[in-house]
Amino acid sequence: MAQNPDPTLKLTNLNGVTRTLDDWTTMFHLCLVVLPDRPEGAAWVPIARRIFQVLGDADCRAAVCVAGSDHIARRVVGTGADEFVVFTDPDKAFVHSLGLTYLPAFVHLRQDTTLADATEGWNAREWQRVADGVAKAMKWSAPQVARPGDPAPTQGWPV
């Protein structure tokens, strides 16, 4: 079950910038698509892109976090590495701190790093609920999460 993460945990993006979670959320909420460290995680990159195209200009930092190394993250995210912020979590400390047990996941953290909402696995209605919550908190338009051709509903992969 998702929980408030440790605000002192350090997250590094693919550009090599390392900051604590508290520092990453100083100015903005964090809207995260958390992907597994396996090739199948790439199926959720178009969904992340769709969400970020709407929420990317809102007062939140839209980002992907891959539960793996830089090399794995680049393979999973592909061209998304040039489009949005990508965090890596090679030891899965961040994922464990969030209390996530299955990936992919969609997570909304407030500026004070507390958990606003999260969902694990892929269920379009649940991801839409989280996206709607982010949009409401940001006083922004809500993205349409699901589209034909998306992956089938799944519990996801254990962390």
pLDDT digits (tens, 9 = 90+) for 10-63: 999 999 999 999 999 999 999 999 999 999 999 999 999 999 999 988 999 999
Specify if 148 maps to a domain: no
Q: Report how many domains make up the chain.
A: 1
Give the pLDDT mean for 89-99: 98
The answer, as to whether pTM is greater than 0.95, is yes
- Domain assignment present for residue 40? The answer is yes
In a domain, 157, yes or no: no
Q: Which domain holds residue 40?
A: 10-142
Please report whether residue 49 resides in a domain: yes
The CATH number that applies at residue 118 is: 3.40.30.10
Is the residue at 1 inside a domain? no
Q: Is residue 53 part of a domain?
A: yes
In a domain, 3, yes or no: no
**What DSSP line would sit under the chain, residue for residue?**
------TT-EEEETTS-EEEHHHHTSSSEEEEEEE-SSGGGGGGHHHHHHHHHHHTTSSEEEEEEESS-HHHHHHHHGGGGGTSEEEE-TT-HHHHHTT--EESEEEEE-TTS-EEEEEESB-HHHHHHHHHHHHHHHT-PPP----TTPPPPB--EE-
pLDDT tens digits, one per residue of 113-153 = 999 999 999 999 999 999 999 999 999 999 999 999 999 99
21 occurs within a structural domain: yes
Distance CA 120, CA 95 (A): 11
